[in-house]
Structure 1
């Protein structure tokens, strides 16, 4: 990648979208393939091609920006790992379906865009009809609650049988059970029970319209195109929301305790510079001595700017980063089967719900005192593109420190001396 300009800005934080409005916008523009393809570097995005979404998924990046780091971010920070888990399964399913040569593939025809549009139109008409039949008072009572999708529906449990769960899902969508002799039907039953239906352990953030449209498609065929609508929505969420937030988060080289400590250091250094300048101004010392306060101001304001962007400039001086809490105790727990399997479970397409509260590191890190958190173990930042971004932010912080110091120095040097002592 080329050199980044000093005007570089890290990716802006993207809020989690509301299900209905966001997915509706994706529907309207079909989340065009052009908008979802890896684009050339746009400085406004803050993400260089070397850290692009596809580059990460293809394994072309180094820690802390690998696909495992991305999954850990979604699992432990954003708590939406189901999107990446489903997306990875879907890509793999597309490859396996295309490579299959069995005769029963003829039983799974492609689900076309025209079929999808027809299904969506039919669902909208049904919803409009139900809305006219529902008493206004009842609709108001249940609006915005779990009962809005279906008052009589009950949550499911991950221990139930996939076939029976899929049957319930199809019934709730108003369609008959599909032919079980279609290829990959058992696997798709597990997908429905894991990601699609209400109460699924890894339920995707789908609107009622999208959920029913997907189930109607899956009732007709096991062709990968049956997941086209869900896959578009999931991919757009990953590319346009989760990925920029992951890169923004990865730029931060210190844990929250260290960044707060950096804020304190920056404020302290800046205040020391002010006190020194005031004392020298009130004294009989020559004007030139007041410029000594600039040393503290440069250090203080540079540290503050780095902390504002989530970085500790001291750590960056060594191109180091703090080890993440879930990584911290791995080396201590190599013989612990739970610790070893925790990382693998997140890549299991049909695992249990994405919960980490019972993982061994949670309690151990919570008991860690604040001083140990501030000076946690460090590792080398291996990804060159990330180091370059951090280099630019470091230079920006130093420049900011010099500018602030220069302004304050000019002000204090220009003030007449007090000569009080």
Structure 2
């Protein structure tokens, strides 16, 4: 559905529903999760997912258009990254997604000799690996259950302690050589030894991740091996500064594939999970959030103003009804009801009608103090635009520290601002035409509802007989 013809015919438009963030896939919960929850093969090739526009999102604001740079502020790729960092707290997903697509481009440009050193991780190989990992986890899950059943059977028998000793020692000696080896303390999870990723070189961290997952170290002759070691240390292993939301099973599947090859298909499991989250959860929430043209204090103020206008108009209509004034005067209060209801409904959807009349939006808190910070910190004449680009580019760096922002100067400064200052924060024009048309639709919906509600109230008050009390 293109932008043309999308408005104004769709007066039943509903903005995208809020999609909750996926639950963390904790490694200690992976063994009890249903096997059906584990990532399954699909028709996706190298993780590319083709999805249609979500409900409430026109094609002009699709995920692909935003990521490819086909939109204007406040819906650019940089705005999306800022939203993921400061609001969703999941910027690592977009950082990994952008790196992977760039990696595919660079990988396809290497020589034929290097390509031969990195064969494709086929879907059949992934299917076989997934089945093996499922089987291993199923066997590990059955072991505690079998031990508990044995303890219940021998409960109260004289040789209970001796049986317990056999259960915990002799069975390891006579175990099936084809079964999963018993876990050692290092094999409990991939996250136990990787809290401080900056203290160990990337190669050593990657080697430790392979060892912990029970995977042999890969050949170093593969192209881009060093870069993928940094990816493992930054995104894949638990405790990494930008850890992706991967379960223990998914981590092992990725590491097994990366042990075999550095072909982009080795990251199919990870990129599929990341892209699914971006498209189905982060993107709809970003559009919903961007429709709001005011900050929370301004929207709350608008709601209060709408409610107050409705109440004052209702009180005025009641006074005229109790007085000896002609009934026609009561209909004049419809103006207040229309304004109040329109303001209230628009604010309920995150919009301030005053800002919408100018097609403006409030500047985000992380953008608000940029000019002041630059003037204070750059006495050498560095331009505001240059400093802004420097700060924004930092979010797009593939490798680096975590995406935390608590130490940024704007956090404390914005908290110290008064409520009145936040209500009247600086404004900026909305450049994206598709977003402006969505807001126009919401405003018209609010206005139509206000007219309908006002007509009902006018009919009620005009039909009442005068009280002649005033």
TM-score (norm 2): 0.83
Larger radius of gyration: 2
Cα 1:35–1:166 shift into 2, 3 Å: closer
Q: Distance in 2 between matches of 1:332 and 1:169?
A: 44
Q: Cα RMSD between the aligned structures?
A: 2.3
CA offsets 1:98-152 (integer angstroms, 9 cap, x no match)? 0111623211110001111111111112212222334778xxxxxxxxx996299
Q: Distance in 1 between matches of 2:34 and 2:95?
A: 20
Cα 1:191–1:23 shift into 2, 3 Å: farther
Which is worse superposed, 330-339 or 61-70?
330-339
Q: Give the corresponding residue for 1:105.
A: 115
Q: Give the corresponding residue for 2:153.
A: none
What does 1:124-135 correspond to in 2, within 5 Å?
124-134=134-144
Q: Distance in 2 between matches of 1:374 and 1:153?
A: 46
Which is worse superposed, 123-132 or 275-284?
123-132
Give the superposition deviation at 1:26. 7.7
CA offsets 1:11-31 (integer angstroms, 9 cap, x no match)? 111111235579955834737
For residue 156 of structure 1, the aligned residue among 195, 202, 208 is 195
Q: Give the corresponding residue for 1:411.
A: 460
Question: Is 1:192 the equivalent of 2:232?
Answer: yes
Q: Distance in 2 between matches of 1:151 and 1:38?
A: 32
SS of equivalent to 2:108? helix
For residue 277 of structure 2, the aligned residue among 225, 231, 237 is 237
Q: Give the corresponding residue for 2:368.
A: 328
Please tell me whether the aligned partners of residues 202 and 229 of structure 2 are also in contact (alpha carbons under 8 angstroms).
yes
Please tell me whether the aligned partners of residues 191 and 239 of structure 2 are also in contact (alpha carbons under 8 angstroms).
no
SS of equivalent to 1:230? helix
Q: Give the corresponding residue for 1:62.
A: 72
**Where do 5+ consecutive residues of structure 2 fail to align?**
26-32, 149-185, 379-386
For residue 82 of structure 2, the aligned residue among 50, 67, 72 is 72
Aligned pair count reads 409
SS of equivalent to 2:297? helix
Please tell me whether the aligned partners of residues 266 and 301 of structure 1 are also in contact (alpha carbons under 8 angstroms).
yes
**Where do 5+ consecutive residues of structure 1 fail to align?**
138-146
Question: Is 1:36 the equivalent of 2:49?
Answer: yes
Q: Give the corresponding residue for 2:402.
A: 353
TM-score (norm 1): 0.92
Q: Distance in 2 between matches of 1:26 and 1:195?
A: 19
Which is worse superposed, 336-345 or 113-122?
336-345
Please tell me whether the aligned partners of residues 190 and 212 of structure 2 are also in contact (alpha carbons under 8 angstroms).
no
Cα 1:24–1:369 shift into 2, 3 Å: farther
Please tell me whether the aligned partners of residues 51 and 385 of structure 1 are also in contact (alpha carbons under 8 angstroms).
yes
Q: Give the corresponding residue for 1:143.
A: none
